[in-house]
Structure 1
Amino acid sequence: MAANGASCDQPQKRVRDKQNGSSTDLSVRERRQKDKEDRLSLVLWRRPVTTLHYFLLETLVKLKEWTIKLWQRRSTVLLFLVLCSFFSLAYSTEGSHQKYVQYLEKRFLWCAYWVGLGILSSVGLGTGLHTFLLYLGPHIASVTLAAYECGSTDFPEPPYPDHIVCPQGGGLEGSISLWSIMSKVRLEACMWGAGTAIGELPPYFMARAASQSGADPDDEDYEEFEEMLEQAQTAQGFVTRAKLGVQNMVQRVGFFGILACASIPNPLFDLAGITCGHFLVPFWTFFGATLIGKAIIKMHIQKLFVIITFSKHIVEQMVSLIGSVPRVGPDLQKPFSQYLEAQRNKLHSAGEGTPTGENWLSWVFEKVVLVMVCYFVCSIANSMAQSYAKRLQQRRHSEEKTK
């Protein structure tokens, strides 16, 4: 009887343990959901004082962490400072080498500018500043229009690339080809693509560190990735199936799967970085495929699209189509025609002044850029404030466990 009683108690005990475990998991999930809601409410337009306060504190924490990391790599830092001192000495010393120094300085700053814009475009798990639409795309478009107008891509330097002026003598319009325009903007496009590849590294390192430590990271993006893996078999949504397809391609195909995902416009590529970090894909396999895909293959596709779109005959057809719109067509066509005519006059002017009669198109574009930059700065402040709030929540939970 005792044995039978014990055997009867064991299933009941397992049921009770399972129920207790389920209730514990539910309470943990509810706590995480509440913490996540509290963090997401920490934005400038809702709680400006607290958000700015947490933003400043998180900035101090990051500066302290970076200082410690630099001190741990002080030999590398010392070598970097020695190289900087050498270049500074060469830059400030007069001599025949100055023309080479100035050329290298100009090229370095130009490349660093586009790399920085590329990083801003892809960093932050899809919340970055869309610098292709704001900077690189308009630059390629202006070079394309100028090439067809001038009949050449040999714009004098200076003022190019700050300003575009047609070369004296010019050339024949028929001599301009897609390849010549692509070659003209290849450096800035590839540098921008390399910057986007660098911007994809934070999700990779985050997931890799979490996988190596064996911890369950309290991060919204990583939790979304884990939930997607668990629910992928029953999910019917297109976005979820697309995420699963990216994850399967990266996990099974490896280098060429990453290359395929990076070579096409892919808003879900952040998931590829998280997947590669989670499955401990080697760094150079991930970064090498990402760099080739984004800086070479994808950038040539995007360049080709912009150049074809802004070819002279296509732009003129678009302006004429705008004029054919009933009632409002002529009114809309006029500012576009004025803008194109002003740009043509500017290209044939040796001066650097802006065309007279600046129209509302350039004014609207400037304001759109200003609004997007302000939103990007606000998103950075919100993200850092939420990161500090997460630190406080984790510290509070650790203190509760120790009690």
Structure 2
Amino acid sequence: MAANGAGCEQPQKRVGGKQKHNGNFTDSSVSERRHKDREERLSLVLWRRPVVTLNYFLLETLITLKEWTLKLWRRKGSVFLFLVLCSLFSVAYSIEGAHQKHVQHLEKRFLWCAYWVGLGILSSVGLGTGLHTFLLYLGPHIASVTLAAYECGSTDFPEPPYPDQIICPQEGGVEGSISLWSIISKVRLEACMWGAGTAIGELPPYFMARAARLSGADPDDEDYEEFEEMLEQAERAQDVVTRAKLGVQNMVQKVGFFGILACASIPNPLFDLAGITCGHFLVPFWTFFGATLIGKAIVKMHIQKLFVIITFSKHIVEQMVSLIGSVPRVGPALQKPFSEYLEAQRSKLHHQAGEGTPAGENWLSWVFEKVVLVMVCYFVCSIINSMAQSYAKRLQQQRYSEEKTK
């Protein structure tokens, strides 16, 4: 009886940093439960559970709007000052006068820069799940400017923001007078703004990891948990991906500003880890953001611009088309649409404004438009799925809290 009585009241004890109550909570059970909950969250996608996913998405949207409203209410002074400045600018914008010419010029430039900054943010935000706006927007834009510069023999077509299409100037330039530097200068503004946007998109992981480190609490975010596990298992890592992640982490941690600059200056799919690393080791904000901004907006963008410009230079494009035609059997069939597409682009560049768009659009442009549409739709779906999973995570955390209080 004594043994049975002793078994009825087991003392509370710590097991692996987690409290054990009557055997209900252990490291293995908690780990299994979290893994099961994570799998349940990941199953919340539109193509599997559309009704529940949309419902959770709307609820998470309302919660997020409420949180943002409360944050703005806590900063009433800053919000009021911003509204006053917007009101003054609106009055200056609506009043007629000689200043309207400068106001409209600044408006166009601001909207043009904001457009590319926004695309840059969409590209890098979300820990690798962003929209590939370089392939969809900036790359094709640089390619079209490059082709136009070589075809027109000049870069004197309108300054950005461009009209719906680029048209060669009346007085064409001398053939062969176009240089790489002139084309780089023509697209520098939009490319640098896009690069600055990608640097801004790297800030959420930095702030998340920094806040978690300063609070002293273990965050529930899986990305941060994976990062901490990777640090603990650093010496035993064998696979290439983990070694590459550790290489980024070691460079950022040991070299500091120049390590961040080196990682940000090259196309690096693992750079998301740099933000978490810098936040975890409390790297100063301006050290991280300054190096990231210089690397992405200046160094990396000039490398990418140079690659696109060289790839779409006139003589290289013509050589590529001729090589396509030399492929046995299918070469001529593949060469024809590419040749027609290039000819259509040349005719567009030389037709006058108001003449209408020349005919000759082929299936290449149609395919590209559909690819862009599919990628944008997938990006929107990923946002809906992510917000639905965030709401499911809120419910699971609420359930954990209720169980701990019992």
TM bucket by the smaller chain? over 0.9
Residue 392 (str. 1) matches residue 395 (str. 2): yes
Q: Which has the higher helix share?
A: 1
Question: Which residue is 1:380 aligned to?
Answer: 383
Q: Which residue of 2 aligns with 1:148?
A: 150
- Per the alignment, residue 3 of structure 1 pairs with none
The answer as to whether partners of 1:159 and 1:165 remain within 8 angstroms in 2 is no
SS at match of 2:176: helix
Among 33, 36, 60, the residue aligned to 1:34: 36
Deviation at 1:17, TM superposition (A): 6.4
CA offsets, 1:279-306, max 9 Å, x none? 1111111111110100000000000000
* Counterpart for residue 359 of structure 1: 362
**Distance of aligned partners of 1:248 and 1:159 in 2 relative to their CA distance in 1, 3 Å threshold:** closer
Distance 1:377 1:17 in 2: 43
Per the TM alignment, residue 357 of structure 1 is displaced from its structure 2 partner at its CA by: 2.4
For residue 36 of structure 1, report the CA deviation from its aligned partner: 0.6
* Preserved contact between residue 343 and residue 355 of structure 1 (Cα < 8 Å): no
Once residues 307 and 365 of structure 1 are traced to their aligned partners in structure 2, the CA distance between those partners, rounded to angstroms, is 20
Of stretches 152-161 and 308-317 in structure 1, the one that deviates more from structure 2 is 152-161
Provide closer, same or farther for how the CA distance between residues 251 and 19 of structure 1 changes in structure 2, counting only shifts above 3 A. closer
Partner Cα separation in structure 1 for residue 18 and residue 222 of structure 2: 26
Aligned to 1:301: 303
Q: What corresponds to 1:106 in structure 2?
A: 108
TM-score by length of 2: 0.93
Choose from 71, 86, 90 the match for 1:69: 71
SS of the equivalent of 2:26 reads helix
Question: Unpaired segments of 5 or more residues in structure 2?
Answer: 1-10
Residue of structure 1 aligned with 2:164, choices 162, 168, 180:
162
Q: Spell out the pairing of 1:46-195 with structure 2 (5 A cutoff).
A: 46-156=48-158, 160-195=162-197
Q: Give the CA deviation at 1:156.
A: 3.2
AA in 1 matched with 2:170:
Q
Q: Is the 8 A contact 2:248 2:274 kept in 1?
A: yes
Residue 224 of structure 1: aligned partner: 226
Give the corresponding residue for 1:291. 293
- In 2, the alpha carbon distance for the partners of 1:187 and 1:18 equals 54
Tell me the CA shift for residue 24 of structure 1: 1.3
What is the DSSP-based 3-state SS (H/G/I as helix, E as strand, rest coil) of the residue aligned with 1:175?
Answer: coil
RMSD: 1.9
Q: 2:109·2:161 contact (CA, 8 Å) conserved in 1? A: no
Matches within 5 A, 1:246-325: 246-325=248-327
Query: In 1, are the aligned partners of 2:198 and 2:296 still within 8 Å (CA)?
Result: yes
Q: CA deviation at 1:19?
A: 12
Scaled by the length of structure 1, what TM-score is found? 0.94
8 Å CA contact 2:108–2:161 kept in 1: the answer is no
Measure the CA separation in 2 of the matches of 1:78 and 1:261. 40
Q: Tell me the residue number matched to 2:26.
A: 24
Report whether the alignment pairs 1:401 with 2:404: yes
CA offsets, 1:150-199, max 9 Å, x none? 00000035883532111111111221000000000000000000000000
Tell me the distance in 2 between the aligned counterparts of 1:311 and 1:58. 48
Q: Which whole-Å CA distance do the structure 1 matches of 2:285 and 2:351 have between them?
A: 50
1:301-327 CA distances to partner (integer Å, 9 max, x unpaired)? 000000000000000000000000111
* Rounded Cα–Cα distance in structure 2 between residues aligned with 1:301 and 1:269: 17
> Residues 153 and 174 of structure 2 are in contact (CA less than 8 Å); yes or no, is this contact kept in structure 1?
yes
Instruction: Give the 3 Å change call, closer, same or farther, for CA 16–162 of structure 1 in structure 2.
Output: closer
Indicate how the Cα distance of structure 1 residues 319 and 397 shifts in structure 2: closer, same or farther if over 3 A, else same. same
For residue 18 of structure 1, report the CA deviation from its aligned partner.
7.2
On the 8 A contact 2:206/2:276 being kept in 1, the answer is yes
Identity of aligned residues (%): 86
Structure-2 change in CA distance of 1:25 and 1:167 (3 Å) = same
Report the Cα distance in structure 2 between the residues aligned to 1:238 and 1:152, rounded to whole angstroms.
Answer: 47
2:205–2:276 contact (8 Å) kept in structure 1: yes
Residues 21 and 57 (structure 1), Cα distance of their counterparts in 2 relative to 1, 3 Å cut = closer
Cα distance between partner residues in 1 of 2:135 and 2:17:
53
Distance in 2 separating the partners of 1:349 and 1:141: 19
Q: Which has the larger displacement, 342-351 or 155-164?
A: 155-164
Cα distance in 2 for partners of 1:20, 1:385 equals: 29
Tell me the distance in 2 between the aligned counterparts of 1:218 and 1:79.
36
Is residue 211 from structure 1 mapped to residue 221 from structure 2 by the alignment? no
Q: 1:193 to 1:399 in 2, by over 3 A?
A: same
SS in 1 for 2:145: helix
Paired residues in the alignment total 390
Contiguous gaps of at least 5 residues in structure 1: 1-12
CA distance, structure 2, for counterparts of residue 159 and residue 76 of structure 1: 31
Is this contact kept in 2: 1:152–1:171, CA < 8 A? yes
CA contact (8 A) 1:129 1:372 kept: yes
8 Å contact kept, 2:202–2:275 = yes
